[in-house]
Amino acid sequence: MIRIIPVILILTFLITREITPQISVQTADEQQISKIISERGGKFLLLNFWATWCAPCREEFPDLQKLHESYLEKGLEVIGLSVDYPDETESKIKPFLKKAGSTFPVFVQDVNNDEKLINMIDPEWNGAVPLTVIYDANGNKLEIIEGKKSYSEFEKILSKHLPLAE
Amino acid sequence: MRKLMSFVLTAFFALGLSNLSQASDLKTGRQNDDPKKVENFSLPDINGKTHSLSEYSGSKAIVLMFISTECPVSNAYNDRMVQLTKDYKDKGITFIGINSNKAESVADIKQHAADHKFDFTILKDDKNIIADKLDASVTPEVYVLNGSLDLLYHGRIDDSRRVNEVKTNDLRSALDEILGGKKVTNPKTKAFGCTIKRVD
Protein backbone atom coordinates (compact mmCIF):
# COMPACT_ATOMS: atom_id res chain seq x y z
CA MET A 1 0.00 0.00 0.00
CA ILE A 2 2.81 2.39 1.01
CA ARG A 3 4.45 1.76 -2.38
CA ILE A 4 1.34 2.98 -4.19
CA ILE A 5 1.25 6.36 -2.44
CA PRO A 6 4.13 7.96 -4.44
CA VAL A 7 2.55 6.68 -7.65
CA ILE A 8 -0.79 8.26 -6.70
CA LEU A 9 0.94 11.52 -5.79
CA ILE A 10 2.80 11.65 -9.11
CA LEU A 11 -0.35 10.87 -11.03
CA THR A 12 -2.32 13.55 -9.13
CA PHE A 13 0.43 16.07 -9.88
CA LEU A 14 0.46 15.22 -13.58
CA ILE A 15 -3.34 15.32 -13.90
CA THR A 16 -3.62 18.64 -12.01
CA ARG A 17 -0.89 20.10 -14.20
CA GLU A 18 -2.77 19.01 -17.27
CA ILE A 19 -6.03 20.53 -16.07
CA THR A 20 -4.56 23.78 -14.72
CA PRO A 21 -2.76 25.57 -17.53
CA GLN A 22 0.46 27.29 -16.61
CA ILE A 23 -0.06 31.01 -16.19
CA SER A 24 2.37 32.99 -18.26
CA VAL A 25 2.82 36.73 -17.85
CA GLN A 26 5.43 38.26 -20.10
CA THR A 27 6.87 41.72 -19.66
CA ALA A 28 6.23 44.22 -22.44
CA ASP A 29 8.35 47.29 -23.06
CA GLU A 30 7.43 50.08 -25.49
CA GLN A 31 8.55 48.11 -28.55
CA GLN A 32 6.66 45.00 -27.51
CA ILE A 33 3.51 46.98 -26.78
CA SER A 34 3.72 48.58 -30.25
CA LYS A 35 4.16 45.11 -31.70
CA ILE A 36 1.11 43.77 -29.82
CA ILE A 37 -0.93 46.62 -31.29
CA SER A 38 0.40 46.56 -34.83
CA GLU A 39 1.06 42.87 -35.54
CA ARG A 40 -2.50 41.68 -35.47
CA GLY A 41 -2.45 38.55 -37.63
CA GLY A 42 -5.81 39.52 -39.09
CA LYS A 43 -7.51 39.91 -35.71
CA PHE A 44 -9.01 42.94 -33.96
CA LEU A 45 -7.62 43.70 -30.51
CA LEU A 46 -9.28 44.56 -27.22
CA LEU A 47 -6.40 45.81 -25.07
CA ASN A 48 -7.30 46.22 -21.41
CA PHE A 49 -5.06 48.24 -19.07
CA TRP A 50 -5.49 47.08 -15.49
CA ALA A 51 -3.73 46.64 -12.16
CA THR A 52 -4.06 44.25 -9.24
CA TRP A 53 -4.51 47.28 -6.94
CA CYS A 54 -7.50 48.49 -8.97
CA ALA A 55 -10.83 47.13 -7.69
CA PRO A 56 -12.94 47.94 -10.80
CA CYS A 57 -10.23 46.30 -12.94
CA ARG A 58 -10.48 43.10 -10.94
CA GLU A 59 -14.27 43.21 -11.13
CA GLU A 60 -14.09 43.54 -14.92
CA PHE A 61 -12.02 40.38 -15.42
CA PRO A 62 -14.88 37.82 -15.62
CA ASP A 63 -16.44 39.84 -18.45
CA LEU A 64 -13.11 40.09 -20.26
CA GLN A 65 -12.71 36.32 -19.94
CA LYS A 66 -16.22 35.86 -21.35
CA LEU A 67 -15.36 38.16 -24.26
CA HIS A 68 -12.19 36.16 -24.89
CA GLU A 69 -14.16 32.92 -24.97
CA SER A 70 -16.94 34.15 -27.24
CA TYR A 71 -15.07 36.51 -29.56
CA LEU A 72 -11.76 34.85 -30.35
CA GLU A 73 -13.32 32.89 -33.19
CA LYS A 74 -15.13 36.01 -34.36
CA GLY A 75 -11.81 37.72 -34.97
CA LEU A 76 -11.16 39.57 -31.71
CA GLU A 77 -8.20 38.98 -29.44
CA VAL A 78 -8.48 40.04 -25.79
CA ILE A 79 -5.18 41.00 -24.18
CA GLY A 80 -4.60 42.36 -20.68
CA LEU A 81 -1.75 44.74 -19.97
CA SER A 82 -1.06 45.13 -16.28
CA VAL A 83 0.40 48.43 -15.09
CA ASP A 84 1.69 46.80 -11.90
CA TYR A 85 5.44 46.60 -11.54
CA PRO A 86 7.14 43.66 -13.35
CA ASP A 87 8.59 42.42 -10.05
CA GLU A 88 5.01 41.93 -8.80
CA THR A 89 4.30 39.24 -11.41
CA GLU A 90 4.79 36.26 -9.10
CA SER A 91 3.53 37.86 -5.90
CA LYS A 92 0.44 39.67 -7.20
CA ILE A 93 -0.39 39.22 -10.90
CA LYS A 94 -0.19 35.45 -11.25
CA PRO A 95 -2.08 34.70 -8.01
CA PHE A 96 -4.86 37.05 -9.15
CA LEU A 97 -5.04 35.49 -12.64
CA LYS A 98 -5.14 32.03 -11.12
CA LYS A 99 -7.99 33.00 -8.82
CA ALA A 100 -9.83 34.75 -11.66
CA GLY A 101 -9.39 31.70 -13.91
CA SER A 102 -8.51 33.91 -16.86
CA THR A 103 -6.95 32.30 -19.91
CA PHE A 104 -6.45 35.25 -22.26
CA PRO A 105 -2.90 36.59 -22.71
CA VAL A 106 -1.72 38.99 -20.04
CA PHE A 107 1.43 41.10 -20.11
CA VAL A 108 2.96 43.38 -17.50
CA GLN A 109 4.28 46.73 -18.60
CA ASP A 110 8.03 47.25 -18.47
CA VAL A 111 8.11 50.82 -19.72
CA ASN A 112 9.27 52.10 -16.34
CA ASN A 113 7.70 55.51 -16.93
CA ASP A 114 3.95 55.90 -16.38
CA GLU A 115 3.68 59.09 -18.40
CA LYS A 116 5.50 57.63 -21.41
CA LEU A 117 3.16 54.64 -21.54
CA ILE A 118 0.04 56.75 -20.95
CA ASN A 119 0.90 59.17 -23.77
CA MET A 120 1.93 56.34 -26.06
CA ILE A 121 -1.56 54.84 -25.77
CA ASP A 122 -3.48 58.11 -25.80
CA PRO A 123 -2.31 61.66 -25.06
CA GLU A 124 -5.69 62.50 -23.53
CA TRP A 125 -5.62 59.61 -21.09
CA ASN A 126 -4.96 60.77 -17.53
CA GLY A 127 -3.80 57.39 -16.27
CA ALA A 128 -7.00 56.14 -14.64
CA VAL A 129 -7.46 52.38 -14.91
CA PRO A 130 -9.21 50.35 -16.17
CA LEU A 131 -8.89 51.64 -19.72
CA THR A 132 -9.77 49.53 -22.73
CA VAL A 133 -8.69 50.33 -26.26
CA ILE A 134 -10.04 48.56 -29.33
CA TYR A 135 -7.86 48.34 -32.43
CA ASP A 136 -8.72 47.01 -35.87
CA ALA A 137 -6.74 44.30 -37.66
CA ASN A 138 -4.32 46.93 -38.96
CA GLY A 139 -3.61 48.34 -35.50
CA ASN A 140 -5.76 51.43 -35.98
CA LYS A 141 -7.38 52.72 -32.80
CA LEU A 142 -11.18 52.41 -32.97
CA GLU A 143 -12.40 53.01 -29.44
CA ILE A 144 -11.07 54.28 -26.12
CA ILE A 145 -13.22 53.05 -23.27
CA GLU A 146 -12.64 54.58 -19.84
CA GLY A 147 -13.71 52.83 -16.65
CA LYS A 148 -15.21 49.45 -15.91
CA LYS A 149 -17.63 48.08 -18.50
CA SER A 150 -19.90 45.04 -18.49
CA TYR A 151 -19.96 42.26 -21.08
CA SER A 152 -23.07 43.70 -22.72
CA GLU A 153 -21.58 47.20 -22.82
CA PHE A 154 -18.49 45.82 -24.53
CA GLU A 155 -20.68 43.83 -26.94
CA LYS A 156 -22.60 46.97 -27.90
CA ILE A 157 -19.34 48.79 -28.68
CA LEU A 158 -17.88 45.82 -30.55
CA SER A 159 -20.98 45.42 -32.70
CA LYS A 160 -20.15 48.77 -34.33
CA HIS A 161 -16.85 47.43 -35.60
CA LEU A 162 -16.88 43.65 -35.79
CA PRO A 163 -19.08 42.26 -38.55
CA LEU A 164 -19.59 38.97 -36.69
CA ALA A 165 -20.32 40.52 -33.30
CA GLU A 166 -23.65 39.82 -31.52
CA MET B 1 -3.32 73.28 -67.66
CA ARG B 2 -2.89 69.56 -66.98
CA LYS B 3 -0.30 70.39 -64.31
CA LEU B 4 -2.70 72.87 -62.69
CA MET B 5 -5.50 70.29 -62.70
CA SER B 6 -3.21 67.70 -61.15
CA PHE B 7 -2.13 70.22 -58.45
CA VAL B 8 -5.76 71.09 -57.66
CA LEU B 9 -6.74 67.41 -57.45
CA THR B 10 -3.74 66.58 -55.22
CA ALA B 11 -4.54 69.49 -52.92
CA PHE B 12 -8.20 68.46 -52.81
CA PHE B 13 -7.40 64.88 -51.83
CA ALA B 14 -4.76 65.95 -49.32
CA LEU B 15 -7.29 68.26 -47.65
CA GLY B 16 -9.94 65.57 -47.70
CA LEU B 17 -7.64 63.01 -46.13
CA SER B 18 -6.52 65.41 -43.44
CA ASN B 19 -10.17 66.13 -42.58
CA LEU B 20 -10.88 62.42 -42.48
CA SER B 21 -8.05 61.83 -40.06
CA GLN B 22 -9.32 64.68 -37.88
CA ALA B 23 -12.81 63.28 -37.97
CA SER B 24 -11.57 59.89 -36.86
CA ASP B 25 -9.60 61.30 -33.92
CA LEU B 26 -10.82 59.49 -30.84
CA LYS B 27 -11.71 61.24 -27.66
CA THR B 28 -11.59 59.99 -24.13
CA GLY B 29 -14.37 62.41 -23.26
CA ARG B 30 -12.12 64.69 -21.26
CA GLN B 31 -10.92 68.19 -21.96
CA ASN B 32 -7.63 68.12 -23.75
CA ASP B 33 -6.37 71.32 -22.17
CA ASP B 34 -6.48 72.24 -18.53
CA PRO B 35 -8.46 75.34 -17.60
CA LYS B 36 -6.21 78.36 -17.05
CA LYS B 37 -8.24 79.47 -14.08
CA VAL B 38 -10.31 77.57 -11.56
CA GLU B 39 -13.70 78.93 -10.59
CA ASN B 40 -14.16 79.60 -6.88
CA PHE B 41 -16.10 76.86 -5.10
CA SER B 42 -17.31 75.99 -1.62
CA LEU B 43 -17.39 72.55 -0.02
CA PRO B 44 -17.90 71.25 3.51
CA ASP B 45 -14.94 69.72 5.30
CA ILE B 46 -15.18 66.43 7.19
CA ASN B 47 -16.29 68.32 10.30
CA GLY B 48 -19.13 70.04 8.47
CA LYS B 49 -17.47 73.47 8.16
CA THR B 50 -17.78 75.05 4.72
CA HIS B 51 -14.65 76.32 3.00
CA SER B 52 -14.35 78.48 -0.12
CA LEU B 53 -11.24 78.64 -2.28
CA SER B 54 -11.42 82.43 -2.09
CA GLU B 55 -10.57 82.16 1.66
CA TYR B 56 -7.04 81.25 0.63
CA SER B 57 -6.39 84.20 -1.68
CA GLY B 58 -3.49 85.24 0.58
CA SER B 59 -1.68 81.92 0.04
CA LYS B 60 1.38 81.72 -2.20
CA ALA B 61 -0.15 78.55 -3.60
CA ILE B 62 -3.15 76.33 -2.96
CA VAL B 63 -2.56 72.60 -3.46
CA LEU B 64 -5.77 70.67 -4.13
CA MET B 65 -5.17 66.93 -3.70
CA PHE B 66 -7.81 64.47 -4.88
CA ILE B 67 -7.41 61.55 -2.51
CA SER B 68 -9.07 58.32 -1.50
CA THR B 69 -9.29 56.22 1.65
CA GLU B 70 -9.38 52.94 -0.30
CA CYS B 71 -7.16 53.43 -3.34
CA PRO B 72 -3.80 51.70 -2.74
CA VAL B 73 -2.03 54.25 -4.95
CA SER B 74 -3.45 57.19 -3.00
CA ASN B 75 -2.62 55.39 0.23
CA ALA B 76 0.96 54.89 -0.94
CA TYR B 77 1.20 58.70 -0.83
CA ASN B 78 -0.25 59.27 2.67
CA ASP B 79 3.12 59.81 4.35
CA ARG B 80 4.38 61.88 1.42
CA MET B 81 1.35 64.17 1.66
CA VAL B 82 1.91 64.61 5.40
CA GLN B 83 5.58 65.41 4.78
CA LEU B 84 4.77 67.88 1.99
CA THR B 85 2.33 69.71 4.26
CA LYS B 86 4.94 69.83 7.01
CA ASP B 87 7.62 71.13 4.65
CA TYR B 88 5.58 73.81 2.89
CA LYS B 89 2.78 75.06 5.17
CA ASP B 90 5.07 77.58 6.91
CA LYS B 91 6.12 78.87 3.50
CA GLY B 92 2.62 80.16 2.76
CA ILE B 93 1.30 77.15 0.89
CA THR B 94 -2.15 75.75 1.69
CA PHE B 95 -2.83 72.02 1.27
CA ILE B 96 -6.41 70.83 0.83
CA GLY B 97 -7.49 67.24 0.33
CA ILE B 98 -10.64 66.55 -1.66
CA ASN B 99 -12.47 63.24 -1.52
CA SER B 100 -14.89 62.84 -4.45
CA ASN B 101 -15.39 59.06 -4.26
CA LYS B 102 -19.06 58.24 -3.92
CA ALA B 103 -18.49 55.15 -1.80
CA GLU B 104 -16.27 56.84 0.80
CA SER B 105 -18.29 58.30 3.65
CA VAL B 106 -17.38 61.31 5.78
CA ALA B 107 -16.95 58.96 8.76
CA ASP B 108 -14.50 56.79 6.78
CA ILE B 109 -12.56 59.84 5.59
CA LYS B 110 -12.39 61.21 9.13
CA GLN B 111 -11.07 57.92 10.49
CA HIS B 112 -8.57 57.59 7.64
CA ALA B 113 -7.31 61.15 8.21
CA ALA B 114 -6.84 60.45 11.92
CA ASP B 115 -5.09 57.14 11.25
CA HIS B 116 -2.60 58.78 8.92
CA LYS B 117 -2.24 62.03 10.89
CA PHE B 118 -3.30 64.25 8.00
CA ASP B 119 -2.59 67.82 8.96
CA PHE B 120 -4.58 69.45 6.17
CA THR B 121 -8.24 70.29 5.57
CA ILE B 122 -10.18 67.55 3.79
CA LEU B 123 -13.28 68.50 1.83
CA LYS B 124 -16.02 66.07 0.89
CA ASP B 125 -17.04 66.56 -2.72
CA ASP B 126 -20.45 64.95 -2.56
CA LYS B 127 -21.73 64.07 -6.04
CA ASN B 128 -18.21 64.77 -7.41
CA ILE B 129 -19.19 68.25 -8.59
CA ILE B 130 -15.70 69.70 -8.13
CA ALA B 131 -14.01 66.63 -9.65
CA ASP B 132 -16.23 67.15 -12.69
CA LYS B 133 -15.47 70.88 -12.82
CA LEU B 134 -11.72 70.27 -12.72
CA ASP B 135 -11.97 67.09 -14.80
CA ALA B 136 -10.07 65.20 -12.09
CA SER B 137 -10.10 61.49 -12.86
CA VAL B 138 -7.65 59.65 -10.61
CA THR B 139 -6.40 59.49 -7.05
CA PRO B 140 -3.99 60.88 -6.18
CA GLU B 141 -4.13 63.86 -8.54
CA VAL B 142 -3.09 67.41 -7.62
CA TYR B 143 -3.93 70.89 -8.85
CA VAL B 144 -1.80 73.84 -7.75
CA LEU B 145 -3.34 77.30 -7.92
CA ASN B 146 -2.13 80.74 -6.97
CA GLY B 147 -4.16 83.06 -4.75
CA SER B 148 -6.01 84.35 -7.82
CA LEU B 149 -6.97 80.73 -8.63
CA ASP B 150 -4.84 80.54 -11.78
CA LEU B 151 -3.83 76.93 -12.44
CA LEU B 152 -0.04 76.59 -12.15
CA TYR B 153 0.45 72.82 -12.00
CA HIS B 154 -1.69 69.73 -12.57
CA GLY B 155 -0.69 66.10 -12.23
CA ARG B 156 1.14 63.71 -9.98
CA ILE B 157 2.94 64.19 -6.67
CA ASP B 158 6.01 62.39 -7.97
CA ASP B 159 6.85 59.74 -10.52
CA SER B 160 6.70 56.52 -8.51
CA ARG B 161 4.19 54.75 -6.32
CA ARG B 162 7.23 53.35 -4.54
CA VAL B 163 8.81 56.02 -2.41
CA ASN B 164 12.31 54.53 -2.76
CA GLU B 165 12.09 54.62 -6.57
CA VAL B 166 11.13 58.27 -6.99
CA LYS B 167 13.23 60.05 -9.61
CA THR B 168 11.30 63.28 -10.05
CA ASN B 169 9.53 65.14 -7.24
CA ASP B 170 7.20 66.97 -9.61
CA LEU B 171 4.96 68.68 -7.04
CA ARG B 172 7.91 69.78 -4.89
CA SER B 173 9.70 71.17 -7.95
CA ALA B 174 6.57 73.09 -8.96
CA LEU B 175 6.13 74.51 -5.44
CA ASP B 176 9.80 75.51 -5.23
CA GLU B 177 9.54 77.31 -8.55
CA ILE B 178 6.36 79.10 -7.44
CA LEU B 179 8.01 80.16 -4.18
CA GLY B 180 11.01 81.37 -6.16
CA GLY B 181 8.73 83.51 -8.31
CA LYS B 182 9.46 81.39 -11.37
CA LYS B 183 7.19 79.88 -13.98
CA VAL B 184 6.57 76.17 -13.41
CA THR B 185 8.83 74.34 -15.88
CA ASN B 186 6.69 71.22 -16.15
CA PRO B 187 3.09 72.30 -15.46
CA LYS B 188 1.44 69.02 -16.44
CA THR B 189 2.39 65.47 -15.54
CA LYS B 190 0.63 62.08 -15.45
CA ALA B 191 0.72 58.83 -13.52
CA PHE B 192 -1.41 55.74 -13.10
CA GLY B 193 -3.99 55.90 -10.34
CA CYS B 194 -7.42 54.72 -9.22
CA THR B 195 -10.43 56.05 -11.04
CA ILE B 196 -12.53 58.49 -8.99
CA LYS B 197 -15.79 56.60 -8.39
CA ARG B 198 -18.45 59.06 -9.47
CA VAL B 199 -22.19 59.07 -8.86
CA ASP B 200 -24.15 57.48 -11.74
Does the residue B8 lie in any domain?
no
| Residues in chain B within 8 Å Cβ distance of A51 | 192
Note the ipTM here. Answer: 0.82
Lowest mean pLDDT among B8-22, B69-83, B111-125: B8-22
Residue B78 has pLDDT above 50, yes or no: yes
CATH of domain A23-159: 3.40.30.10
3-state secondary structure of A156: helix
- With CB atoms and an 8 Å threshold, state whether A126 touches B138: yes
Nearest Cα residue to B195 out of B118, B105, B119, B135 = B135
pLDDT at B34: 73
Output the pLDDT for position A50: 98
Indicate yes or no: CB of A122 within 8 angstroms of CB of B73.
no
Distances (CA, A) of B138 to A22, A52, A126, B104: 34, 16, 8, 15
Residue-wise DSSP of A3-22? THHHHHHHHHHHHHHHHSPP
Contacting residues of A for B195, CB less than 8 Å apart: 54, 56, 128-130, 146-148
Q: Is A127 on the interface with B (CB under 8 A)?
A: yes
pLDDT at site B166: 97
Q: Does A47 touch chain B (CB under 8 A)?
A: no
Min distance B90 CA to chain A CA atoms (Å): 31
Q: Do residues B92 and B123 lie in contact, with contact meaning Cβ atoms separated by under 8 Å?
A: no
Of B141, B190, B195, the CB nearest to A114: B190
| Contact check, Cβ <8 Å, A122/B28 | yes
Q: What value does the mean pLDDT take over residues A99-109?
A: 97
CB B137 within 8 A of CB A56: no
> pLDDT tens digits for B82-114?
999 999 999 999 999 999 999 999 999 999 999
- Backbone torsions φ then ψ of A88, nearest 5 degrees: -100, 5
* pLDDT for res A22: 79
Question: Is residue A119 within 8 angstroms of chain B, CB to CB?
Answer: yes
pLDDT given at position B61: 98
Stretch A141-150: mean pLDDT, rounded? 96
pLDDT category of residue B13 using cuts at 50, 70 and 90 = very low
> How far is A46 from chain B, CA to nearest CA, in Å?
15
Q: Is residue B177 part of a domain?
A: yes
Q: Chain A contacts of B192, Cβ < 8 Å?
A: 51, 83, 114, 118, 127-129
Q: In terms of pLDDT, which residue wins out, A82 or B9?
A: A82
Considering only CB atoms, B195 lies closest to which of A56, A119, A123, namely: A56
Mean pLDDT for A145-160 is 96
Contact B190 A127 (CB under 8 A): yes
Q: Are A114 and B191 within 8 A, CB to CB? A: yes
Chain B from 51 to 90: CB within 8 A of any A CB: 70-73
- Where does the pLDDT of residue B200 fall: very low under 50, low under 70, confident under 90, or very high at 90 and above? confident
pLDDT digits (tens, 9 = 90+) for B135-171: 999 999 999 999 999 999 999 999 999 999 999 999 9
The predicted-structure confidence for B18-27, as pLDDT tens digits, reads as follows 333 333 345 5
**Number of domain units in chain B:** 1
Residue B116 lies in a domain: yes
Q: What is the predicted pLDDT for the residue at A23?
A: 87
pLDDT tens for A17-67 read: 445 567 899 999 999 999 999 999 999 999 999 999 999 999 999 999 999
Task: Using CA coordinates, name the residue in chain B closest to A148.
Answer: B195
- Determine, yes or no, domain membership for B52: yes
Query: What average pLDDT does this structure show over A119-125?
Result: 95
DSSP result, B66-82: E--SS-HHHHHTHHHHH
Q: Kindly indicate the confidence band of residue B4, based on its pLDDT and cuts at 50, 70 and 90.
A: very low
The domain that holds B78 is classified in CATH as: 3.40.30.10
Mean per-residue pLDDT, B19-40? 58
Q: pLDDT tier at A14 (50, 70, 90 boundaries)?
A: low
B36 lies in some domain: yes
Owning domain of residue B165: 31-195
* B18 inside domain: no
